[in-house]
Amino acid sequence: MRSARASETTPAGTQSGLVVAGFGRHVMVETESGERVICHPRGKKSQVVVGDRIRWLPSQDEGTIEKIEERSNLFYRQDEMRTKSFAANLDQVLILIAAEPEFSESQLTRALIAAEAERIKPIIALNKSDLAEPFGRAWAKLAPYRTMGYQMLPLAIKPKAATAPEDAEQTRELMELLSRKKTLVLGPSGAGKSSLTNLLVPQAKVLTAEISQALNSGKHTTTSTTLYWVDEARTTALIDSPGFQEFGLHHIDPMQLANYMPDFKAHAQDCKFYNCTHLHEPGCGVILEVKSTVSASSISTNRYRLYSELFAELSQTRY
């Protein structure tokens, strides 16, 4: 009985692998010895994502995916019509935004909520510090996020002018945060996600060229998610992803929203009602904090507005 079960969980002749890139129907799988093989999912619908550990069966020079190992987490967004999975088995998410193009606070908040909901640690990095004026504005706009406890890094990944001496220090600090972890780099188009990959993984350029050649796409904007090893020992990984414009949270229960927003969570415990929506209830700790005139509120008006809008949006689809 036991052996029968064992063969069922690991089909005969299969090898273990890691999904390192996905393009539509097929994926690139890295074998244990570090070779790369194109694999096809068995079923009609492809459910594998980058970061998945799989069992695959070789066939000629390609392979078939036989099994997806259990995931520790799956980072995804849920738009109105579809689910968009970014990657699985992550240690953290690096939300990369930039001084230019100006980032949307709504999209940032949504990405943070999605990470909190999956219990994946988010780090925020603001790129293009060489663009002093817009950078200063953007950095100030991020103040509430620093206050609520998120780790925040200024970066100049590929500055227009010659590299300033402190950039090496920034990169070192970033490397320390990334070391020995699998990090999904997420953010709007043009923030510098792929530039970061090229900075930390110089040979990635070659790989990118290879893949885009194979797919016949010459575009500069990233169209697929790809995992790159930063070190030869393959312990530190960066996952580059296509820029996103919208970030649906239809999988989130509106009643859980405040739990996933650290500035709200801190005050929600003072609410009179356990099922407080923080929208109109008497004795609401959140509303009290928003309206506080004694000291500067730790919940910004923008965050409260984003919360109310999200609550309405998520309630609509649910009930």
Ligand X SMILES: Nc1nc2c(ncn2[C@@H]2O[C@H](COP(=O)(O)OP(=O)(O)OP(=O)(O)O)[C@@H](O)[C@H]2O)c(=O)[nH]1
Binding site for Zn ion (CB under 5 A): 271, 276, 278, 284, 286
Q: Is 194 in the site for Mg ion (CB under 5 A)?
A: yes
Q: Which stretch binds Mg ion (CB under 5 A): 30-38, 91-99, 187-195, 248-256?
A: 187-195
Structure tokens at 300: 């910004």
Closest distance to Mg ion from the beta carbon of 280 (Å):
43
Q: Which is nearer to Mg ion, 58 or 190 (CB)?
A: 190
Closest distance to Zn ion from the beta carbon of 276 (Å):
3
Closest distance to ligand X from the beta carbon of 282 (Å):
45
Closest distance to Mg ion from the beta carbon of 101 (Å):
13
Q: Which of ligand X, Zn ion, Mg ion, none interacts with 271 (beta carbon under 5 to 8 A by kind)?
A: Zn ion
CA dist 285 and 124 (Å) reads 27
Q: Which is nearer to ligand X, 144 or 187 (CB)?
A: 187
- SS3 sequence, the chain? CHHHHHHHHCCCCCEEEEEEEEECCEEEEEECCCCEEEEEECCCCCCCCCCCEEEEEEECCEEEEEEECCCCCEEEEECCCCEEEEEECCCEEEEEEECCCCCCHHHHHHHHHHHHHCCCEEEEEEECCCCHHHHHHHHHHCHHHHHCCCEEEECCCCCCCCCCCHHHHHHHHHHHHHCCCEEEEECCCCCCHHHHHHHHCCCHHHHHHHHHHHCCCCCCCCCCCEEEECCCCCCCEEEECCCCCCCCECCCCHHHHHHHCHHHHHHHCCCCCCCCCCCCCCCCHHHHHHCCCCCCCCCCHHHHHHHHHHHHHHHHHHC
Site string for ligand X, 241-280 (x = CB under 6 A): -xx-------------------------------------
Q: Which of ligand X, Mg ion, Zn ion, none interacts with 5 (beta carbon under 5 to 8 A by kind)?
A: none
Site string for Mg ion, 221-240 (x = CB under 5 A): -x------------------
Q: Is 128 in the site for ligand X (CB under 6 A)?
A: yes
Closest distance to Zn ion from the beta carbon of 254 (Å):
13
Q: Is 160 in the site for ligand X (CB under 6 A)?
A: yes
Structure tokens at 53: 């550990």
Q: Which amino acid type is present at position 127? A: N
Neighbours of 82 (CB within 10 A): 9
Closest distance to Mg ion from the beta carbon of 220 (Å):
8
Q: Which is nearer to Mg ion, 45 or 220 (CB)?
A: 220
Site string for ligand X, 174-213 (x = CB under 6 A): -------------x-xxxxxxx------------------
Closest distance to ligand X from the beta carbon of 77 (Å):
15
Structure tokens at 222: 């990233």
Positions in the binding site for ligand X (CB under 6 A): 127-128, 130-131, 156-160, 187, 189-195, 220-222, 242-243
Positions in the binding site for Mg ion (CB under 5 A): 193-194, 222
